[in-house]
Structure 1
């Protein structure tokens, strides 16, 4: 494969995917509405086709203009988008859909492709735009990929959990980096042993390319850090990259109530462990970036940005009330 069309391509996963594809010799075109800054605007190796991916006519025009070997769908949020794309790009050598670990419908450790059931999806959920139905919609997109494969289309999907790294506009990790960078005491919900699978964004990018090149039609592939860390270990990793020392203070629901905080208010916390098996992807030759290296890049990017995650977690005043009570115990 020589040419690639990235639907999306300017913000986070898509941006890193474009970099990865360029490094591996692809001619790359990005397709999006142009509502976000294009980091490749001055890069003559990357072409841009403007259009709304929810407009089938615009997608069909892009297919005829670019005639890509591989299509990477980074912004398919509704099942109908996947069904349309697999039809429009049916003649391509590979179509890869960015699904999600949230597509799984049963709590298992680990969650495995083809074994752990997916979320169901009603007609109402399929057209909803709320976060409550995100996993349902992604699961139905996976089923659309499988249906396309049954029609002879080389369609596949990749399921990442929480993605982190440079240019992460969700600021989920930035909240924690900011806390470790600015304070001596970091409040960690629960006992610190919570496990929620995460994945470095460049590893998602390489996974998408590898699945396009080596994956099997109709298959889904989990992608995630090959070494998992607890929430407290993640804080320690951040502190090591910042070359600082912090005191981790644990707080359960009763202590957090003093600051009117709940466990789930902390980004990256999840009451039940969320773990994906990545053996299937690794069997294709994919490898993950060492955690220290990945976190180092994430921290460096945070320090160079104006992101602090302050809108996405408990306020420090509320945390201080909890910390004050814990120190008197």
Structure 2
């Protein structure tokens, strides 16, 4: 499929639509006039009104999901696990993420659809001293999570070579913003807001000087939209801020905006935590003209605004509209 053809698609399917990225992407796609199908194991009230909802799991996808994917841009956001140092869940990761994805690729390889796979901008690269990591950097994952993500990337590439499967891969750094939950263990910004505001200790693994690339969620959804429309088939694109910040700096920013001093407890460093991870975003900028519109400070302020409204128990209709416009 050519880039010109992909621009004509106004039908989208989100796999994993009830997650943090999925909710925000669904809202962005609806605002852009897409015929939208949301697929997840459970529904959420945060999906846009008028979205088609299909519930199920990727291991045994319902037939109506396969029908919905035909002619659509399919955003694959599903991941049933999170990075850990252990390998005890490796078999489950392979079955529920890798094998399920390959089965779906096999079932749809002759369909007319375009895939955007959400990979990991951190775990697939592993340890490195590079100031910024480009897409050509060696891939040496140090967790089962990153290994599975990379394996899925490789299968997308294989199906592209064998069958002309139309796909792009987005290696996303550390997204944050509205609708992120601290419960799943992957949202540091969300966890810091909850813990610091409640006066609970903030546990930091290591010395707090690990550097990460934090990118605001609206910038992520804009990048995914552009990749779905104009990304080069078979290519991989980093999606991040291109700027590194330490964990301690992030704690200080959120403490300042809340007006609460954080109680920090240091724990031994984990084997799955790389020392530095900042993405080089030159490729997506050069090819698609994308750059993040929000700095970390701006994104944290907007996230705090949403967090405050959530703490008050919900948003009135006008407030929702104003907040959406502000974001």
TM-score range, shorter chain: 0.7 to 0.9
1:241 alignment partner in structure 2 = 257
Is 1:163 aligned with 2:175? Answer: yes
Pair 66,134 (structure 1): closer, same or farther in 2 beyond 3 Å: closer
Greater Rg, structure 1 or structure 2?
Answer: 1
Could you say if the C-alpha distance between residues 116 and 209 of structure 1 is closer, same or farther in structure 2, counting changes exceeding 3 Å? same
Aligned to 2:56: 51
C-alpha distance in structure 1 between counterparts of 2:309 and 2:138, whole Å = 40
* Correspondence for 2:120 among 82, 100, 103: 100
Task: Say which of 268, 271, 289 aligns to 1:262.
Answer: 268
Q: Is the 8 A contact 2:37 2:53 kept in 1?
A: yes
Matches within 5 A, 1:208-223: 208-223=224-239
Q: Within 2, Cα distance between the matches of 1:271 and 1:152?
A: 35
In structure 2, the residue matched to 1:26 is 34
**TM-aligned CA deviation for residue 156 of structure 1:** 1.4
Contact persistence 1:103–1:138 (CA under 8 A): yes
Query: Which of 58, 63, 66 lines up with 2:66 in the alignment?
Result: 63
Q: How many residues align?
A: 277
- Per the TM alignment, residue 55 of structure 1 is displaced from its structure 2 partner at its CA by 1.3
Q: Does 1:272 align with 2:272?
A: no
Normalising by structure 2, report the TM-score.
0.73
Matched residue, 2:304: 299
What is the CA–CA distance in structure 1 between the aligned matches of 2:261 and 2:217, rounded to whole Å?
Answer: 26
Q: Would the aligned equivalents of 2:13 and 2:38 in 1 still touch at CA under 8 Å?
A: yes
Match of 1:199 in 2: 215
Give the C-alpha shift of residue 134 in structure 1.
0.7
Aligned to 1:126: none
Q: Summarize the Cα distance change of 1:186–1:156 in structure 2 as closer, same or farther, 3 Å threshold.
A: closer
Q: CA deviation at 1:190?
A: 6.1
Aligned CA distance change for structure 1 residues 87 and 185 (closer, same or farther; 3 Å):
closer
Go from structure 1 to structure 2 and tell me whether the alpha carbon gap of 1:222 and 1:64 turns closer, same or farther (over 3 Å shift): same
Secondary structure of the residue aligned to 2:36 is strand
1: CA distance, partners of 2:138 / 2:234: 16
Deviation at 1:278, TM superposition (A): 1.6
- SS of aligned partner of 1:296: helix
Q: Partners in 1 of 2:204 and 2:17 — Cα distance?
A: 34
Q: Distance in 2 between matches of 1:271 and 1:73?
A: 25
Are the counterparts in 1 of residues 43 and 55 from structure 2 also a CA contact under 8 Å? no
Assess, with a 3 A threshold, how the Cα gap between structure 1 residues 10 and 187 changes in structure 2: closer, same or farther: closer
- Contact 1:232-1:248 at 8 Å conserved across structures: no
RMSD value, Cα: 3.1
Are 1:22 and 1:28, in contact at CA under 8 Å, matched by a contact in 2? yes
Q: Residue 276 of structure 1: CA displacement?
A: 1.9
Check 1:186–1:51 CA distance in 2 against 1; reply closer, same or farther (3 A cut): closer
The answer on whether the counterparts of 1:76 and 1:97 sit within 8 Å (CA) in structure 2 is no
Secondary structure of the structure 1 residue equivalent to 2:30:
helix
Q: Give, in angstroms, the shift of residue 112 of structure 1.
A: 1.9
- 8 Å Cα contact 2:75/2:115 also seen in 1: yes
Deviations 1:124-155 (A, max 9, x none): xxxxxxxx411110000010111122121111
Q: Which residue of 2 aligns with 1:117?
A: 139
Runs of at least 5 residues in structure 1 that lack an aligned partner in the other structure: 121-131, 307-329
Structure 2 segments unaligned to the other structure (5+ residues): 1-8, 81-96, 312-327
Whether 1:136 aligns to 2:147 is yes
Separation (CA, whole Å) in 2 of partners of 1:185 and 1:15 = 29
SS in 2 for 1:294: helix
Q: Are positions 1:286 and 2:298 aligned together?
A: no
Q: Do the aligned partners of 2:70 and 2:113 also contact (CA within 8 Å) in 1?
A: no
CA distance in 2, matches of 1:88, 1:276: 34
Q: Tell me what 1:129 maps to.
A: none
Displacement of 1:24 in angstroms is 1.8
Q: What is the rounded CA distance, in whole Å, between the counterparts of 1:198 and 1:274 in structure 2?
A: 10
The secondary structure found in structure 1 opposite 2:245 is coil
